[in-house]
Amino acid sequence: MAAPAYPAWVTRWVSGQWRNKKRPPTLRPPRTLALADKVANRREQSTEATCITEMSVMMACWKQNDFNDTPCAEEIRMFYDCVAKAEKERKNQNEDTVSSRGNLPSSKVNKLLKRFPQITHYV
């Protein structure tokens, strides 16, 4: 009798695992369960299109007046004003503070986290 082939449960019973209530691990984390020093790169920061109402008003005026510019001068002026305001708004918008949605862009967050890293070791 070279190597007696017992069923698996026999081996386990004999080794005493059942009596010690040994179970397979409930959690097998793919990565270490600790906070990393960066966030994922999200691209969803797209804003909405500006000056749509002024543009549609201007186009309605154009349709009525056969695309002449002289009768529509007022609407055109309003469109230009809106565009200038939106452009200034975009320039003045400071990305360092929280944006209009309430989220910082991920690159800024990563820079801040890099300055204050997680301490994982004792010295």
Partner 1 sequence: MAAPSAAGLGRRLRAWLPRIMPVRWSRYNPSYLEPEVKKESHQKPLEELTEEQREQMELKAVRPIKAAPPSLSSSVFSDPMISKFTNMMMKSGNKVLARSLMSQTLEAIKRKQLEKYHKAPENEKETIECNPYVIFHQALKNCQPIIGLSNITKGGKTYQVPVPLTDNRKCFLAMKWLITECRENKHRRTLMPEKLSQELLLAFNNEGPVIKRKHVLHKMAEANRAYAHFRWW
Q: In the complex, which residues of this chain contact partner 1 (CB under 8 A)?
A: 46-52, 55-56, 58-59, 62-63, 67-70, 76, 79, 83, 86, 90, 96
Residue closer to partner 1 by CB (options 40, 48) is 48
Amino acid type, 9: W
Residue closer to partner 1 by CB (options 36, 73) is 73
CA separation, residue 106 to residues 56, 88, 109 (Å): 35, 24, 5
CA separation, residue 90 to residues 17, 54, 61 (Å): 67, 18, 28
DSSP code of residue 34: S
Residue closer to partner 1 by CB (options 32, 92) is 92
Shortest Å distance, C-beta 114 to partner 1: 11
Shortest Å distance, C-beta 57 to partner 1: 11
